Amino acid sequence: MASAGPPVAGPGPYFAAPVAPEPLGPLPTVRSPDDRVELTGITLLVRGQLYLLRELERADVMHVRWILWYLLGALGLAAVMIAFLENWLKTGPAMLGMTLTALLLIYGHRGTNRLRLFRLGREVVNVALPGETAPWQQLTAEINRRIFRVHDHAARQAAAELAAHDAALRLAAQLDAAATADHEGYDTPGENFSA
């Protein structure tokens, strides 16, 4: 009984060559409410800077607080309270100082949203975006979906091109082998002269 052996790579039941993917269909343009960010099917425009989705790895957004304003507010509030408790300030100026430093503290707590764009093989781009975090998180999720879509399409296209290149190399090798076999079957003139 003859054994079948391991499956051979090539056309047949074990291997199906990838087919070139169809071009990506257009997607609707998504804009942020303040028009600072615009997302199309293949590009991302952030504050006038254009990025191709293919050059991005991913994006994320997070709320960050302004530490400088926190420190100024906290230290100013502590200084005004100490000055008031030591009777260096009267009640009116102390209340005004506490109000102003508390406003600095609140301003630092408000913070901003930081959009980070991770670029393939390059430094991360940080962009400050105002407003609530939730709408920016929804937009970032859509950015990541479209980045994945573009990368997936590029990978399928590269696999199809690689398969086509391998098939062309295989065909060239078969033609070369056939030409060599045909050439070996014929005698070259002048070789078989008997003297």
Give me the residue spans of the domains in the chain: 27-64+113-172, 66-110
Fold of 27-64+113-172: PH-domain like (2.30.29)
Burial of 40 (0-12, 13-18, 19+ CB in 10 A): middle
pTM as predicted: 0.68
Centroid of chain to Cα 160:
23
CB proximity list for 42: less than 8 A, separation 6 or greater: 24, 52, 53, 54, 150
Contact 14, 8 (CB under 8 A): yes
The pLDDT tens digits along the chain (195 residues) read 444 544 445 554 555 666 777 888 888 999 998 889 999 999 999 999 999 999 999 999 999 888 888 888 888 989 999 998 998 989 999 999 999 998 888 887 788 899 999 999 999 999 999 889 999 999 999 999 999 999 999 999 998 899 889 888 988 898 888 888 877 765 555 555 555
Closest to 55 in 3D by CA, of 7, 100, 119: 119
Using CA atoms, how far residue 170 sits from 10, 46, 167, 174, in Å, is 9, 46, 5, 6
> If we measure between CA atoms, which residue out of 6, 109, 123 comes closest to residue 56?
123
**The pLDDT of residue 127:** 94
What is the pLDDT at residue 6?
46
